[in-house]
Amino acid sequence: MMKIFNRFTKELLGEYNISPGANLYKANLSEADLHGADLREIYLGGADLRKADLSKADLREANLRRTNLCEANLREADLRAANLRKTNMSGADLSKADLRYARLSGIDLRGTKYSVLSILQANWGEVSDILTTEMMKWDAACCPNLDAFQDWAQGGDCPCRTVQRAFLFEEHRELYEAGSPTMSLWTLWEALAREREIKI
């Protein structure tokens, strides 16, 4: 069990089991001091974490679906593979947060501080044909051998075995088109946000 205190008043909010897999469904942790806390794989669905300090917290594979993280401090938080669907993160600070493989559909990012490069590392899964083609062009642009992508589109081996792909999504060989990306990273982000109903 871990004693959790209010980050501003230092008042004890309660003692909680925060071991991996623990269930804190709808817990009231508003303004909680969770700086650097190990919250891996924890279930925080529907929890109130408004204005909580989660800076440098380990939230890998945590379930934060429908969690209220409005104005929370998530600086340098590890959110790899976290479920952030339908989470309210308006006004939060995601500076230097690691969002690789996170699931982000339906979230509110209005007024949030974040890096577009970081947020584009999320797990986008299946996207529209137009975005699939565009994101594959970005993948190809990160590959040292463009011809290898053309070979892959015709049934060859994956050209990204030694070079990390630009984005994580469901690629489709039949939609690949040679050529440079046509969207800027910001335009691509706006398009993904529309498809995933993300408020920016």
pLDDT tens digit at each of 200 positions of the chain: 999 999 999 999 999 999 999 999 999 999 999 999 999 999 999 999 999 999 999 999 999 999 999 999 999 999 999 999 999 999 999 999 999 999 999 999 999 999 999 999 999 999 999 999 999 999 999 888 888 888 888 888 888 777 788 999 999 999 999 999 999 999 999 999 999 999 99
**Chain centroid to CA 63: how far?**
12
Domains of the chain: 1-123 (2.160.20.80), 129-195 (no CATH)
**16 SS3 class:** strand
- Tokens 């996170």 belong to 102
Q: How far is CA 67 from CA 13, 50, 72, 84, 172, in A?
A: 18, 9, 11, 8, 33
Strands annotated E in the chain: 2-5, 12-16
The C-alpha atoms of residue 159 and residue 100 are separated, in whole angstroms, by: 21
The C-alpha atoms of residue 147 and residue 17 are separated, in whole angstroms, by: 53
User: What is this structure's pTM?
Assistant: 0.94
What are 140-164's pLDDT values in tens digits? Answer: 998 888 888 888 888 888 887 777 8
Can you give the length of the chain in residues?
200
Q: Which of 126, 124, 113, 116 is nearest to 187 (CA)?
A: 116
Q: What pLDDT does residue 147 have?
A: 82
The C-alpha atoms of residue 62 and residue 179 are separated, in whole angstroms, by: 38
**Chain centroid to CA 57: how far?**
14
- Decide the pairing of beta strands 12-16 and 2-5: antiparallel
Query: Any bridge partners for residue 78, and if so which?
Result: 58, 98
